[in-house]
Amino acid sequence: MSNSSLNNPLKKYFNQDYPSQSQTEPGLESNLIPKPDAGEKSYQGSDQLRGRKALVTGGDSGIGRAVAIAYAREGADVAINYLPSEQSDAEEVKKYIEDTGRKAVLIPGDLKSETFNQKMVEKAVEELGGLDILALVAGKQQAEADITQLATQQLEETFITNVFSIFWTVKAALQYLEPGAAIITTSSIQAYKPSPFLLDYAATKGAIHTLTQGLSQQLASKGVRVNTVAPGPIWTPLQVTGAQPQEIIPSFGQNTPLKRAGQPVELSSVYVFLASDKASYVTGQTYGVTGGGLTN
């Protein structure tokens, strides 16, 4: 007898070839075909974060969008950061947050600026009335198959966006984080199984993994937990802006054991768990959401 309540993970979400497509970096969620599922209709909250105040970087699209929507539906007020060119996507997220009755704060700006990172935290604290959760999701990824062609500018921008900004944001936020607060970084399957065309990106994700472990030890005595989420191939605007070789796009994610790319909403519950009191004894850990790719 079959159980009609079960969902086959191989078929639960889009599992066909993606149309060939490209966008100019950083890309827009609204222009992606098919549009990812970031939980706009599917994520149901249960008050796990009632009264919390969260800052989500990269909150306009992809994983960050899914996290911001989930946090709001779990009862948190949410500030999101994004690049100014992503304003239209950010406005959509703002509406989803406000539709839950929670406060939404939009903070456009470039994480490559240390000064902006500091101002971003200050604005989030001022507008939200405090800060309890840092979900650091934003990242830069550009494919380059030949290390001799990897430009120093790309190398610098990838490390500054993905790694330096975490240092800057955490340094600015620590004075506001009370015992019980949570910091959640975003690593990647690339930290464990690097693609040959993503050397710089994979190296930053390895750095984030190590940074998360060390920071968790430093902040444990303050009652602040620090964990990281390691996504596998997730269907987001990032992928069609040069993050993958163009010829990979149609079969993107099909080389995983679950034979498809993940959807942003499939990470939402992990970010919620790590921000909630249910994870009160969890710090310094990596949670893989990889479609079966191993993170050890």
DSSP conformational letter for 36: P
C-alpha 180/C-alpha 49 separation (Å) is 12
DSSP, collapsed to helix, strand or coil, labels residue 11 as coil
Q: Which of 71, 201, 271, 287 is catalytic?
A: 201
Q: Is there a catalytic annotation at residue 201? A: yes
Which residue, chain included where needed, has tokens 């993503």?
198
DSSP 79-133: EEEE-GGGHHHHHHHHHHHHHTT--EEEEE--TT-HHHHHHHHHHHHHHHTS--E
Residues forming a β-bridge with 234: 262
Rounded to an integer, what is the distance from CA 216 to the centroid of its chain? 19
The answer to whether 67 and 241 are in contact (CB under 8 A) is: no
* Residue 205: both structure tokens together: 């994700």
C-alpha 267/C-alpha 264 separation (Å) is 6
C-alpha 203/C-alpha 140 separation (Å) is 12
Residues known to be catalytic: 201
